[in-house]
Amino acid sequence: MSKRILTCAVTGAAPIGKDKQVPVTPKEIAESSIGAAKAGAAIVHIHVRHPETGNGSMELVHYRETVERIRDSGVDVLINLTTGSGTRFFPTPDNPGVAAAGSVMCTAARRVEHVVALKPDICSLDFQTMWMGNNAMINPPWMIADMAAAIRSAGVYPEYEVFDSGDIHLAKKLIADGAIAGPGLFQIVLGAGFGASPSVETLLYMKSLLPQGAHWAAFGIARMEFPMLAQTYLLGGHIRVGFEDNRYLSYGVPAPTNAALCEKAKKIVESLDGGLASPKEARAILGLKDAR
C-alpha cells in the first residue's frame, strides 16, 4: 500500500490545565516539532501560545521565533501554520448580538498575517461555523475566500479543515466559484465540539463528498485518535496525531511527548503493512516544491 503522510499537531490553543507536557514557548514548540519529525511526522501543524500564560496567541513574534528555530535546526519537515484563530464568539446572554468577554473575531488579513510574513509550506484554512461548548467558531464564506486569496499570493499550500459535511459542500461551492483552488487537500476533523462524530460511518460519508482527485486526511479527537487513525489509513487517507487533539498514549497513560504519539502512529501503520512518507515524499505526493 502507498505511504501515508503523518502530521503532528504539536500544541493547539486549548487551555493547558494540568497537562504540563504541552509545549508553550516558541523554543518548546520548535523542539517538540523537531522531535515529532524525527519520530516520523512529515508535517508539523503549529499554533503558538503566550509564553507567560500558556494561552493561545496570534502574535507574529511568537510564530517567527518558532518557525526560525525549526528551519535553523536542519531537520527536514513541512511546516503547517494554523489560521484558525480569530473566530471565537461568545454571545452576551442578555444581548446576544453583542460579543461577550473572551470573543476574538479578526479580519482575514489579521488571521493570515503570519502566513504571509513567514511563508510556511502549508497553512490550515478552516471552513466550520459551529458551536464548541458555549461559544461559536465563525468562518464567513467571504472571509474564507479573502484568506485563500492572501494564502495563494504568498505561495503557500492551503489545507482545508472540515468539521462536518456542510463544510465540504461550502468548499466545493467556493471551488466552483473560483474563490479557492481545487481539488485541494482536505483535513477531516472528527469529534470536535458539535461537529462530525468520530465513527467509521461518518468518515465514509465525508470521504464520499470530497471533490474528485482531492488529497485527504482525517483524525479523531481524544480517545478516538488512534481508532480513527487506523480507519483513515485503511480507507486511503493521510493521518494526524498530536497534543492539539489528544494527550494520551492509551487510557490513563499520558503521552510524555508528541514524538511518543508519532511513534505509536508509526507502529499502527506498520502493523497494517504500511509505511510513513518522508518529508521529501510528502512534497512529491502533494505536488509541493523541495525544502526552502
Please indicate, yes or no, if residue 114 is contained in any of the structural domains. yes
Please indicate, yes or no, if residue 97 is contained in any of the structural domains. yes
Q: What is the mean pLDDT of residues 246-273?
A: 97
Please indicate, yes or no, if residue 1 is contained in any of the structural domains. no
> What's phi and psi for 40, nearest 5 deg?
125, -10
Q: Which three cell numbers stand for residue 202?
A: 461518518
What does the pLDDT read at residue 1? 59
pLDDT digits (tens, 9 = 90+) for 188-245: 999 999 999 999 999 999 999 999 999 999 999 999 999 999 999 999 999 999 999 9
What order do you get walking across the sheet with 87-89 strand by strand?
Answer: 104-105, 87-89, 135-137, 130-132
Half-sphere exposure of 124 (CA within 13 A, CB side): 24
Residue from 63, 113, 56 nearest 88 by CA: 56
pLDDT digits (tens, 9 = 90+) for 166-182: 999 999 999 999 999 99
Rounded Cα distance, 89 and 166, in Å: 20
Please indicate, yes or no, if residue 291 is contained in any of the structural domains. no
Output the pTM of the full model: 0.97
Please indicate, yes or no, if residue 252 is contained in any of the structural domains. yes
Q: CB–CB of 130/137 below 8 Å?
A: yes
Q: The domain that contains 52 carries what CATH number?
A: 3.20.20.70
Q: Which three cell numbers stand for residue 191?
A: 469529534
Half-sphere exposure of 107 (CA within 13 A, CB side): 4
Domain that includes residue 179, residue range: 6-286
* Contacts (Cβ under 8 Å, ≥6 apart) of 72: none
Rounded Cα distance, 126 and 18, in Å: 28
Please indicate, yes or no, if residue 292 is contained in any of the structural domains. no
Please indicate, yes or no, if residue 104 is contained in any of the structural domains. yes
* DSSP-based three-state secondary structure for 282: helix
* DSSP-based three-state secondary structure for 192: coil
Q: Which three cell numbers stand for residue 239?
A: 493521518
Please indicate, yes or no, if residue 165 is contained in any of the structural domains. yes
Q: CB–CB of 188/216 below 8 Å?
A: yes
Number of domains observed in the structure of the chain: 1
What does the pLDDT read at residue 2? 85
Average pLDDT score over the chain:
96
